[in-house]
Amino acid sequence: MTNPLLHPSELPFGVPDFAAITLADIEEGLNLGMAQEREEWRAIAENPEPASVINTVVAVDAAGGVLGRAETVFYVLLSSVGGPELDALYEKFAPLFSAHSDDFWMNKSIYERYLEVSKLPDLDEETAWLVSDTVRAFERSGVALDEDGQTRLRELNGKIASIQAQVDAKITAQLDRTHTAGSDTTELAGLSEERIQSAVEKARETADGWRIPVMNYSQPPMIASLDDHVTRGRALHDSITRGFGGDPDLDTRPLIVELVGLRQKRAELLGFADHASLAMDDQTVPGPPEALDLLRTVGEAAIRNLDQERVAYEKLAQAEGFDLGPEDWVYFEDKARGDLLGMDADKLSEYFELDRVVKDGLFFAAERLYGLTFRPRPEIRGWTEDVETYEVFDENGLPRGLFMADWYTRPGKSGGAWMSEIQAGCARTGNLPIITNDANFEKPEAGRPTLLTWDSVETCFHEFGHALHGLLTQTYYESTAGTEVPNDFVELPSQLNEMWAYHPEVLANYARHYQTGEGLPDHVVEKLSKSKYFGQAFSTLEYVQAALIDHYWHRNESDLPEAVEDVETFEKTALAAGGGAHDLVVPRYRTPYFAHTFAGGYDAAYYSYMWAEAMVGELEEWFEEQSLTNEDGRPDGGFNRQAGRLLQDQLLSRGNSRDPLASFVAVRGRKPEGAAVTRRRGLQ
C-alpha cells in the first residue's frame, strides 16, 4: 500500500500526490487497476440476480477506481510533462488499454443486462439516457460479432492504439526538434526586443545566432511581425514540411498510411461504409454528408471574402518587391489590424498580462455569469512548479471544485492547449470536480511578466470554457459528468466562452498595461470588441482545409495513398474535392503533424469544432436577446447572472445526462441552423 495510486488520495479534494508518485507506481497502478476492474466486470456479468439499476448501471459506473486514478495521473504527466520514459510507457500500454476496453464492450452478458435494465419501468431521465446510450455503444463496438469477428476486431483495435501512440510521440518530438534558425538577428526585424532575446537564448543551447521553434499548427506566430519576406518564407517552410521525411525519425507518414487502412478495415468489420461513418455514429451530426456540406458551404464563403481582401494585400506586397504568398498573409493582416486598432500586436500584448487575463478576465466573467469565485491554494501542489491551483466556490460560498492551470511550454510537453479532468464531480461519489487547463505560452525570465498575444487571450477563454463545463456539472453518474459528451458538442461551451474576451466590460477589466496598470484606451477597447470579424476569412479557411484533410482520409470513396510519397498529392486532391483549395492559405494542420486526427481522438471529427459553432452562433445571439440594462444605461449583451443561470442549469450542468441537443434546445428554443456559423464569422 506504499503506492499512492492504490487508494484514494488524502489530500484536499482528492488531488493526486504528484510529488510522491513514481513511474513504477503508475505502471503498477495501471496493471493492478485493469485486473481489478476485469474482476468487477466479471462479478457484474455473472450476478444471478435480475439486472437492476444498482447491480448493473451503478456497479459499472463505480468500477475501476484504481485504474481511474492511475490513468488520470499517467495522461496528465504524458501530455503536460512528457519525455522518453512516459512515451515508452504509453507505447507499451496503448494496446493493453485497447484490449481492456474490448473486454467490456464485447461482453455479451453485461450488454444483455443493460438491455434488461432498459425495459424497466420508471427509469429517471439520466439513467434512461445513459442506458440507451450504453446499449448503442455496445452495438457500435462489436458486441454482436461472432467469436472470429471479435478476435479480428481486438487485433485491429490493438494495432490502431499502438500506432496512434507512436504517432503521438513523433509529433511531440517534431515540436522539440524542429525550428527556424539564423545567424544574423537583423533577420528578425519587426519582432520585439524581448522576443529577439528569447530567440538568441534558445540558440545558445547549441550554437550562435537565433532559433525559434515551431508551434503545433502550421502558421508560425512570429511571421505576423517579421518584416523580412524571405525569413517569413523560411519559417513557414520549416513548419509545414516537418514530418515529411526531412528527418526520418520524425516522419509520421508510414504510420499514418497504415493507421488509416486499419481504421477502414475496422469500420467495415463493424458494418460501416467507412471510418467517418463509424466515428459520427454517436455524434450530433447526422453523418458524413452533412459534415462535408457544412465544411464546403463555409469554405466557399471564406474564399469569396478572402479573394476580396487579397487585392489590397497584393498591392502591399508588390510595393515591397515580391509576390504575395501564404507566408505574407498574416503579416499584412496583422498590419491592417494594427491600423484598425491604432496599435500593433506587440504594443497590444503589453495590455494582456497572463495573471490579469486569468483573474480579471476569466474569473471575472465566470463570477458575473455563474456566481463562481476563485481562491488561490498554493499549498496544493500540481505536477510541476508552474501549476497554479484555485479552489472554486459557488454563489452561496460553498466549495465547487478545484481549477489547476499549467500555462507554460517545456520540452516534452504536447503542443497546443487543452482541458483535462483529474476527478469528475458527480452525486454518486460525492466528489467535487478537479479540472485543469494547459497551454504552451513562453515562460519569461524571473521577474518579467507573461504577455499574451490576442490569439493567446482567446485560447485562455476557450480552454476555460471547457473548464467551466467540468466545474459546473451536476449529474448522478461519473460517466455522464461534464465533458462526457460527443466531440461535436463538447466544443460548444469552449467556443461560446470566447465571446466574453471581446465583451467591452470584461475587456476593460483585464486589459491593463503591465507596467502602469493603465487601462487599454477606450477607443481601442471599442474597436477590439468589434473586431471579432477581422481576419475571419483566412482563419476560417485554414481550419476548413484541415477538416477536409481529416474528412477525406476517413472516407471510403477517397483514393487513399498507398505510398508515403503520395501523401502531399492526396492533401491537394482532398482540398480540391472539398472546395477548399486556395493558393494563399495552408491548412492549419497538415497530415504529418495533425495530432487531433491521428493521435488525439478527433479522427474524422475535426469538423466538430464547426458543427458545434452553429450552436455557439445561436447562443451568442441568444445572449444578446437576454441583455439587461447595465449601470450606465446601456444594454449588457447578456452579461448577467440571469442569462448565465439559465445556461448553467439547462446546458453546462447537464453533461451527458440527457440528449445534448435537448439541452441546447432547452436554452435556445429550437435546433441550430448552419447559417449561424457564417453569421458568427461575418462571412455572409
Q: Which residues contact 521 (CB under 8 A, 6 or more apart)?
A: none
CB atoms near residue 397 (< 10 Å): 9
In 141-260, beta strands by DSSP E:
179-182, 210-213
| CA contacts within 13 A on the Cβ side of 655 | 28
Q: Which residues contact 388 (CB under 8 A, 6 or more apart)?
A: 376, 378, 382, 404, 405, 406, 407
How many CB atoms are closer than 10 A to CB 336? 16
Q: Which residues pair with 418 in a beta bridge?
A: 438
Position of cell 494496446?
95
Write out the three cell numbers for 423.
Answer: 476527478
Q: For residues 137 and 132, what is the distance between their CA atoms, to the nearest angstrom? A: 9
Cα–Cα distance between 594 and 549 in angstroms, integer?
10
Residue 89 corresponds to which cell in the numbers above?
Answer: 510507457
Active site residues: 463
Cβ–Cβ < 8 Å for 16, 72: yes
Count the Cβ atoms, other than its own, within 10 Å of residue 475.
23
Whether residue 518 contacts residue 276, with contact meaning beta carbons closer than 8 Å, is answered with: no
Residue 213 backbone phi and psi in degrees, to 5: -75, 160
Give me the half-sphere count of Cα atoms (radius 13 Å) on the Cβ side of residue 379.
3
Q: CA-to-CA distance for 140 and 135, rounded, in angstroms? A: 9
Contact at 8 Å (CB) between 521 and 504?
Answer: no
- Give the burial class of 209: count Cβ atoms within 10 A of its Cβ; 0-12 exposed, 13-18 middle, 19 or more buried: middle
Place of cell 479573394: 307
Backbone phi, psi, residue 372, to 5°: -90, 140
What is the C-alpha separation between 46 and 8, in angstroms, rounded?
27
* C-alpha cell, 495: 467556443
